[in-house]
Amino acid sequence: MSICGGCSIRSDRYAFTIEANQPEAPLVHVQGYLTVLPEGFINFECIPLRQKIPEKLNVWRDRNADSAEYTLQFDNQSNLRQEASVEVSYVEKEKKTLNLIFVIVDSIKSKIRLLRQSENGNEPIPNSKPQISSLEFEVMPEKADLKEGGLTHLCLKVRQKRPWLGRTKRKFLQAKAVTDDSRIEVHNDTQTLELQVIPLLSLSGISK
């Protein structure tokens, strides 16, 4: 017996009955159970592995175009139905490059502040750097029901406010597939995703 996708019969405990019938004898019933063990595998894939904010080049000057999406795909090539989720983490900070405008502005502000403080006889006040908004991400739905021999999709939505001016920045996320039954192996269970954040006015141009 088989189910969709070419997998073997679904893993479960099945009851069966055997009847013995012979002339001039009562009918005999014997009941038993057959346990089908799990077999097969689950393949995990993130599509695409590299994404951009904004996703579409025709809206790259739109301040509100600050999100992108990845598709998280489970291909359940096993005979076991189970639940799965994806754990996402920010695994590597981008290599920070100096924004020339911020450096110049901060330098000018600092000199003006020190000059005024010197004239007023006040102690210098440490210069505070502008806060950089953090990367936000969400997996929808949080859990998925993986049917035997079929594809199941989740959506990873990431959001990052884009700076007005600078160079394209690269951020990295790690997506790890988690299932509730370890008897079925998950292929490619951990993948690294790249996110390129393009400023409204990019000094490095738009990556292709």
pLDDT band at 21 (very low <50, low <70, confident <90, very high): confident
Give pLDDT, residue 112: 58
Mean pLDDT score of the chain, rounded to an integer?
77
Q: Does residue 74 surpass a pLDDT of 80?
A: yes
Of 3-12, 23-32, 122-131, 182-191, highest mean pLDDT? 182-191
Which of helix, strand or coil describes residue 113?
Answer: helix
Question: What DSSP string runs through 50-69?
Answer: EEEESSSGGGTT-TT--EEE
Is 197 in contact with 171 (CB distance < 8 Å)?
Answer: yes
What is the sign of the dihedral through the CA atoms of 95, 88, 192 and 207?
Answer: negative
- Look up the pTM and report it: 0.67
Confidence of residue 116 (pLDDT cuts 50, 70, 90): low
CB 66 within 8 A of CB 162: yes
